[in-house]
Structure 1
């Protein structure tokens, strides 16, 4: 309905280019402060390239707890960079310079109209006053929109006579802001539905829409995105060795080997002496398959109980899953300095008499 406004975003990297007082820049490019006293940040100037240009709206993003914050926005056709970047001037002195032009000031307001401003250059100064030792804030940045626009432009001319910044125009601006915010949400629906771009809380909703496969599971956001990316292959290949191997690697970070009953039992019939030991390892029943996980490989911590419950979702109907964790063991003689996975044994003498190593060497 309304014309698309131009936007200037002052987030993340833009926070580095501003001038700050007592605020600390975090590793993820946010301005934070703790305790009482005065904090301030002057945003880098924005040049609209429009002499005598108008401004529409400013929205601030941040968290302020037990403190007061003030936003001073000013516009001017004159380039004030020399004065604003003068290190000899305090922030209150710079604020007085900005107030010589069109300006607006709001306290504890994160959404404000800029209809009173006229000028090519936009300056924004944000100051915070901590009330106590436990005061804290985290400033993420702000977004400014220009040029000025109003729903009153779509009404009969009689409603436009009072002009910009009139009571009726400000009244319409409240409805306009609600409409623009709703329109923005609608425009971003494709991003909400994009599993690569959407926020983490939406990923669990996606899992419910596609069968509730993440319910009662402790997936990370990266694991959720990986499953959604390959969901068609996973669902169509559920119960197959390849999908089960991929899912084990997803939740453990380790490669798994899957041994089916017939693959070892038919071969082991030739060596009946070891058959009992193999049955202890791989199971005695034909409906049992074994998942071998090498714990020597680097990976994530594994809860055996959670892994077994997880594998039940990918086990074919009527089959049983046996999980075996392989770990390093050391066999030594009568002395051992290891805390775990070690066995003491007495070495035995072997008879190598008559064994020929080559035509020149004979043992015994």
Structure 2
């Protein structure tokens, strides 16, 4: 079906809301809400919007908001608004004076309706008033408002007999407008279909959906930015499954730290020195099919992260191999995993403590 897209005004930035009249309303992060110290009630009156054509039939209002407060939406329309626009520019005008000035042009008031048809608003100029009432701890925040007009009605696809009577035509246009809006919203989603498959711009729910396509079964463990990177680079990462590089990359992506990976052949090189070789086997492994992954406690602070990293390594390790995941604590353990410059450091001398209780003073030998 070939039809003309609606022309629209949209308010979704700070400067858009600043053009209107604010009474006990504040603008934060390009959104409007009631000021904290005004008992949960505020009023916003928009700028006057010009369609540049008399007897314009305004089409639709879509408001994006969140929270549970009460939102009352009142809209106005007329063909001559120069006098009103001039008076509204006055900084001394009060809310009561504005409401008295525009009352005769009021079309309708709706409560907590965030997608409504405006077919009963006819005139070149259009504006609206929003009253926000927060109930106890329930706060309403308006994120954006879209006003559509100059739309070609689906009525034109029906036989002319349906357009002969003015009252009948007006009713039928409003009735068809409901289905027309649904149709247009669906068509916009189809037009933007590619955005659902782009990891850079897809919503979080679609990121999880994309993960199912490429068998990322633990999408919930990733924060959003890392998950986007994982989706974009999944093929490259999966090509390295079963390799040291693959394990290192996936662990580094999750933990934001490159792990140390020790394989059996790394310690086998010391087999000629028996005492050292035996100590390395005890500390690491003597199994040719086992490897060790070392990570700092800072990158894996809780048991939850430990289990998630363990699961990632299990998915990327070579078949028929075993591994140990060792968390390096910032302490020195004799005979344990203590590495100078990694999890232990040389510092100024201090008294040695045993069990956190007894102190052994430093004695300088002559």
Q: Give your verdict on TM over 0.5.
A: yes
Which residue, 58, 62, 65 being the options, matches 1:59? Answer: 62
**1:59-93 CA deviation, whole Å, 9 max, x = no partner?**
11213525352332435443444322333223343
1:3 corresponds in structure 2 to 4
Q: Distance in 1 between matches of 2:195 and 2:119?
A: 31
2:93 corresponds in structure 1 to 89
Which residue, 202, 205, 208 being the options, matches 1:201? Answer: 205
Q: Distance in 2 between matches of 1:111 and 1:94?
A: 26
What is the TM-score of this pair, normalised by structure 2? Answer: 0.81
Pairing of 1:204-283 with structure 2 (within 5 A)? 204-214=208-218, 217-266=220-269, 268-283=270-285
Q: Is the 8 A contact 1:163 1:169 kept in 2?
A: no
Q: Distance in 2 between matches of 1:329 and 1:52?
A: 79
CA-CA distance at 1:58 after TM superposition: 1.0
State the SS of the aligned residue for 1:140: strand
**1:166-188 CA deviation, whole Å, 9 max, x = no partner?**
22222222222222222233223
Structure 1: gaps (5+ residues): 351-364
Q: Is the 8 A contact 1:56 1:149 kept in 2?
A: no
2:159 corresponds in structure 1 to 156
Q: Is the 8 A contact 1:192 1:202 kept in 2?
A: yes
Q: Distance in 2 between matches of 1:317 and 1:5?
A: 59
1:329 corresponds in structure 2 to 344
State the SS of the aligned residue for 2:100: helix
Root mean square deviation of aligned Cα: 3.2
Q: Is the 8 A contact 2:74 2:107 kept in 1?
A: no
Which residue, 73, 76, 92 being the options, matches 1:70? Answer: 73
2:177 corresponds in structure 1 to 173
Q: Distance in 2 between matches of 1:241 and 1:220?
A: 24
| Runs of 4+ more than 6 Å apart | 331-334, 337-340, 343-350
State the SS of the aligned residue for 2:8: strand
Structure 2: gaps (5+ residues): 331-342
Which residue, 118, 126, 133 being the options, matches 2:130? Answer: 126
**1:98-146 CA deviation, whole Å, 9 max, x = no partner?**
344474433332222222334444322211244x434421111211112
Q: Distance in 1 between matches of 2:40 and 2:327?
A: 58
Which residue, 100, 114, 119 being the options, matches 1:115? Answer: 119
CA-CA distance at 1:261 after TM superposition: 1.4
CA-CA distance at 1:286 after TM superposition: 0.6
1:356 corresponds in structure 2 to none
Q: Distance in 2 between matches of 1:320 and 1:89?
A: 77
CA-CA distance at 1:345 after TM superposition: 10
Higher helix share: 2
Q: Distance in 1 between matches of 2:151 and 2:165?
A: 15
State the SS of the aligned residue for 2:351: coil
1:29 corresponds in structure 2 to 30
Q: Distance in 2 between matches of 1:25 and 1:211?
A: 43
CA-CA distance at 1:53 after TM superposition: 4.0
Pairing of 1:308-323 with structure 2 (within 5 A)? 308-323=310-325
Q: Distance in 2 between matches of 1:155 and 1:281?
A: 83
- Kindly tell me the number of residue pairs found equivalent between the two proteins: 342
Compared CA separation, residues 314 and 135, structure 1 to 2 (3 A): closer
What is the TM-score of this pair, normalised by structure 1? Answer: 0.81
Compared CA separation, residues 306 and 106, structure 1 to 2 (3 A): closer
Q: Distance in 2 between matches of 1:163 and 1:242?
A: 74
Q: Is the 8 A contact 2:53 2:124 kept in 1?
A: yes
Q: Distance in 1 between matches of 2:111 and 2:350?
A: 78
Which has the larger displacement, 66-75 or 4-13? Answer: 66-75
